[in-house]
Amino acid sequence: MAYFNIVRSLFGPGVLIMPLAISQTGLILGPILGLSYGLLLVHTHIMLLKSLTEIARQLKIPYISYRYGFRLAVLHGPPIFNGIGKCGPQIIAIFMFMSQLGICTIFVILTSDSVRDLMDWQSNNTALLALLPPFLLLEFCMKTLSIVSYIALAGTMLNLMGLVLVIYQTLSDPVKIYKYAADELMPILYACGAYLCNLSAVGVILQLDKNLVNPRIMTSKFGVIPVGMLVPTVVSMIVGVLGYWSFGTMEENILRVLPLDEVTALIILSVYVISVTFAYPIQCYPAIAVVIEVIKYHDPMVVPGAKMLHRIETFGRPLFVLLTFTICYFVPFQAPFVAFTGNLCTAMVSVVFPALMDICLKYPDEYGYMNFHLIKNLLLIALGLFNWIVGAFMCGYIIHVRILSRNSPNNPGFY
């Protein structure tokens, strides 16, 4: 089940944007860069779990959360990081919530685009209005994790069926016009954000580590993280290469370039609308859990009662859905938003913070031969911060330009 859950997470709708990432970076550089980021995320995820395990061992407790583990690890390190450590739980909570908010918004953008293409509507706004009631209903009905898991299982089966049909659709006549490597920084950072967003599964991994009877299978040589993350990474690269090979350069995910005059393409769109809708509640669950945890443990002297927490959760779920739909209304562009989310959130949660924790836990003199671990983690932090600052800025700029273009009077869809 642990293998299934992580594979289910990484084989989500994010695979559909891989052809765009490959088209931006090139037919040779793209897969190399994607596999490199996949290996990097496997390493940082294992490093994160080992850091949390070491903290729990020293405290003689069975488990510690990412939020408080980050705080204790950073406070153990050099004094210069003490300010970050004291605000550690709030920092992790903000980035985790933003990450889940971004993922859920991506789901809404994907489904609204697909519904618009199926119904041949001129605007996403009509599709958003049509999708809002079922999304709210699903969120209202799925009050327990067990119900959410069963519905998500059905969505996963549909998602895998859609992925098989997408691969079948890509095996057509190639466009025969390719680029093999990008020669500019912007498309590379654009693709790196997509890789970070789609190949990371830190939320799922933390939940698995918490609930497994033997958490060591997560980080073993052929454990859940190495196998469960690398296999989807390789498959994602194959889908990306096939999509670029078949359809060439694209602006959004591969669903937007399928020939809608064919029955197979319409079936693919329909399958993904249903599967992504079913998968949406399980992506909302961690975000609401973060909010509840922050409220519950914000002040040790004032702990909210069970009824109060239940009310907050009851009102928080529909508000979260409305928030994702609102963001989608203003930013209805899946590809740049995926890259923006990856660079802004995943780069910090999955790369920078685990590397910082490892540096602090090994402080002052456990960095190995010639300070290998210190140098390696500093390079990881530099890479993550570069993605966070430069990558997020460039992707935000692309979103800004596309919004201006959409609202231009010269746009045929301008109202």
> Would you state the structure tokens that stand for residue 285, as one six-digit string?
């669950």
pLDDT at residue 71, rounded to an integer: 93
- pLDDT, one tens digit per residue, over 64-98 is 889 899 999 999 888 888 888 888 888 999 999 99
**237-296: pLDDT as tens digits:** 998 888 888 888 877 888 888 887 778 888 888 888 888 888 787 778 778 888 888 888
CA of residue 96 relative to chain centroid, distance: 10
How far is residue 150 from each of residues 3, 83, 99, 103, 284, measured CA to CA in Å? 16, 42, 23, 20, 15
Q: Is 197 within 8 Å of 102 (Cβ atoms)?
A: yes
- Confidence at residue 411, expressed as pLDDT on a 0 to 100 scale: 60
What is the per-residue pLDDT for 390? 93
pLDDT at 408: 62
pLDDT value of position 211 = 77
134 within some domain: yes
Which of 101, 14, 139 is closest to 327 using CA atoms?
101
Kind and range of the H or E element at 41? helix 29-59
| Neighbouring C-alpha atoms within 13 Å toward the C-beta of 340 | 19
Model confidence pLDDT, tens digit, residues 181-201: 887 888 899 899 999 998 888
**pLDDT above 70 coverage of the chain, percent:** 94
> Does a structural domain hold residue 95?
yes
Structure confidence at residue 415 (pLDDT):
39
* pLDDT tens digits for range 106-140: 989 989 988 988 888 888 889 999 999 988 888 77
- Give the CATH number for residue 153: 1.20.1740.10
H-run or E-run covering 307: helix 306-330
Q: What is the pLDDT of residues 33-52, one digit of tens each?
A: 999 999 999 999 999 999 99
**If pLDDT is split at 50, 70 and 90, which confidence band does 206 have?**
confident
What are the C-alpha distances in Å from 355 to residues 40, 239, 376, 381? 11, 30, 9, 6
Residue-number span of the structural domain to which 13 is assigned: 2-404
pLDDT digit string (tens) for 364-413? 888 888 889 999 999 999 999 999 999 999 999 999 988 888 766 666 55
- Give the whole-angstrom CA distance, residue 299 versus residue 153: 37
Token representation of residue 1: 């089940």
Helices 88-119 and 334-341 sit at what angle, rounded to 10 degrees? 170
Q: Name the one residue in this structure whose structure tokens are 């994602």.
A: 236
349 pLDDT band, cuts 50/70/90, is very high
DSSP string for 175-237: -----SS--SHHHHHHHHHHHHHHH--HHHHHHHHHH-SSGGGGTSTTSHHHHHHHHHHHHHH
Determine what percent of the chain falls in helix, strand and coil, rounding each to the nearest 5.
80, 0, 20
Q: Does residue 414 lie in a domain region?
A: no
Burial 208-224 (b: 16+ CB within 10 A, else e): bbeeeeebebbbeeebb
Total residues found in the chain within this entry:
415
Nearest to residue 187, comparing CAs of 26, 36, 27, 18? 26
In a domain, residue 410? The reply is no
Percent of the chain with pLDDT over 90: 32
Instruction: List the Cα angle 291/82/349 in 5-degree steps.
Output: 45
Over residues 293-327, the pLDDT tens digits come to: 888 877 767 777 788 888 888 888 889 999 999 99
pLDDT at residue 268, as a whole number: 86
pLDDT at 414 over 60: no
- In the chain, the number of structural domains is 1
What's the pLDDT at 148?
65
